[in-house]
């Protein structure tokens, strides 16, 4: 079996070996600074996470335990300069390149993301506010995000507007010096844990040209949040209802009716915002070790595990290509969609492997790594844009295929 991401320092075949990352015009050799940064993160995590982290957290980003843990963990990261290392220095960040941010994500996701949903804050909520927000909005939100104080959720999907986000119908009607919002959202991750919601509402006509973005406290009068029970996690999914919610003008992000450009920026960062393959690699290694211990590591099991691991390695390579483009400040292109679909394919291979060779463990829901592996890999093709949407975008913008009526 390939070696684990967290056990590579003593082998030339590991991911930290410079030769591993040479690929045509992309040079993924880690610098000494990046290697030291990764080691510092590992030292911090080793000291901060309790010995029974796996049992307590069950690697569930949406659990009450992980959410509460993040309320002290993220401020600690902020004090260490490790919460927003990729942000500009003048905003409290470290001024580091996107690869440092990606290394941070890999190390955090290996443990199921102890930042809880605050990873969204630093990945795209904060950057969106920095790019499109007023000075007052920046003063209100950026300091809190940078210090690890608040959790945000994303109010995008609706019962009739999931992957086709431009079909959303939640409406914000102009009223005096603000808006009155009515409608609903669904599948909103972490909504009952969050302090603020980055939400979309229709302020104009149909399609993408009449959508606006609002920054709402989740405890506003008229907002009703309900947990949607699921196997994905404790507070992974929610319904959010807006009943005559009055929103003052200062909560509008950017210009009215022109929120789609913000959405596109957000979705680009979200679709390759988490190195999900890291946890899948850990799960796959753990699963294969269980089979070896039980004497059930058949040739078929080894072959299937190798196939899944090759898929995860490929997904990592493609994600690194996206990060490379960010580091070079190149324009957004379909490489993001391709990398996302590669991850979907690889995660499905892991999910199938778990079901075929460790089905009793999956059903028992006792081993935290096996359980989270199945839950996470089973949802990859839905979260952050469905697999089919990624294929449509690849077909249209990368392969330039004609639309089919």
In this prediction, residues 283-289 reach a mean pLDDT of 97
Going from the N-terminus, what domains does the chain have, and what CATH number goes with each? 18-151 (1.10.540.10), 153-259 (2.40.110.10), 272-398 (1.20.140.10)
For residue 386, how many other CB atoms are within 10 A of its CB?
15
User: Looking at residue 91, what is its pLDDT?
Assistant: 84
Task: Tell me which of 1-5, 120-124, 310-314, 321-325 is least confident.
Answer: 1-5
Tens-place pLDDT, residues 45-69: 999 999 999 999 999 999 999 999 9
User: Looking at residue 2, what is its pLDDT?
Assistant: 34
Task: Tell me which of 91-95, 134-138, 224-228, 263-267 is least confident.
Answer: 263-267
Cα–Cα dist 282/292, whole Å: 15
Give me the chain's average pLDDT, please: 87
User: Looking at residue 101, what is its pLDDT?
Assistant: 92
Tens-place pLDDT, residues 191-230: 999 999 999 999 999 888 899 999 999 999 999 999 998 8
Nearest to residue 106, comparing CAs of 265, 290, 345, 315? 315
**Res. 7 pLDDT band, cuts 50 70 90:** very low
In this prediction, residues 105-113 reach a mean pLDDT of 95
Check 270, 296, 330, 388 and give the catalytic one: 270
Percentage of residues in the chain having pLDDT higher than 90: 65
Pair of tokens at residue 262: 């913000």
For residue 243, how many other CB atoms are within 10 A of its CB?
13
In this prediction, residues 113-138 reach a mean pLDDT of 94
Is 293 noted as a catalytic residue in this protein?
A: no
Q: What is the pTM of this model?
A: 0.86
């Amino acid at each position: 079996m390939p070696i684990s991401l967290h056990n590579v320092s003593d082998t030339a075949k590991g991911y930290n070996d410079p030769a591993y990352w040479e690929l045509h015009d992309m040079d993924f050799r880690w610098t000494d600074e990046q290697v030291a940064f990764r080691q510092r993160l590992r030292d911090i995590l080793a000291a901060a996470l309790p010995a029974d982290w796996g049992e307590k957290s069950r690697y569930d980003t949406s659990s009450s335990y992980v959410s509460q843990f993040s309320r002290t963990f993220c401020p600690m990261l902020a004090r260490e300069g490790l919460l927003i290392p990729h942000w500009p220095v003048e905003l409290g960040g470290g001024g580091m390149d996107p690869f440092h941010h990606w290394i941070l994500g890999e190390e955090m996701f290996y443990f199921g993301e102890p930042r809880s949903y605050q990873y969204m804050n630093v990945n795209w909520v904060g950057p969106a506010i920095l790019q499109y927000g007023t000075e007052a909005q920046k003063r209100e939100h950026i300091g809190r995000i940078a210090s690890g104080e608040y959790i945000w959720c994303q109010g995008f999907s609706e019962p009739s507007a999931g992957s086709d986000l431009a079909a959303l119908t939640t409406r914000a009607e102009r009223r005096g010096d603000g808006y009155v919002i009515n409608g609903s959202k669904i599948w909103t991750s972490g909504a009952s844990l969050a302090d603020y919601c980055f939400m979309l509402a229709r302020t104009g006509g149909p399609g993408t040209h009449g959508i606006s973005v609002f920054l709402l406290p989740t405890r506003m009068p008229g907002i009703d949040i309900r947990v949607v029970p699921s196997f994905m996690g404790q507070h992974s999914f929610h319904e959010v209802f807006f009943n005559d919610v009055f929103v003052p003008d200062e909560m509008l992000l950017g210009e009215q009716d022109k929120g789609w450009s913000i959405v596109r920026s957000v979705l680009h960062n979200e679709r390759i915002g988490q190195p999900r393959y890291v946890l899948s690699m850990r799960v796959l290694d753990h699963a294969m070790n269980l089979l070896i211990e039980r004497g059930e590591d058949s040739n078929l099991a080894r072959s299937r595990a190798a196939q899944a691991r090759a898929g995860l390695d490929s997904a990592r390579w493609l994600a690194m290509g996206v990060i490379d483009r960010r580091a070079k400040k190149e324009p957004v292109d379909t490489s993001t969609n391709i990398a996302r679909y590669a991850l979907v394919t690889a995660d499905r291979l892991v999910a199938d492997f778990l079901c075929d060779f460790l089905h009793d463990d999956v059903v028992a829901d006792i081993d935290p790594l096996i359980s989270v592996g199945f839950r996470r890999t089973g949802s990859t093709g839905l979260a952050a844009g469905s697999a089919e949407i990624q294929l449509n975008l690849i077909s249209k913008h990368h392969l330039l295929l004609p639309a089919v009526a």
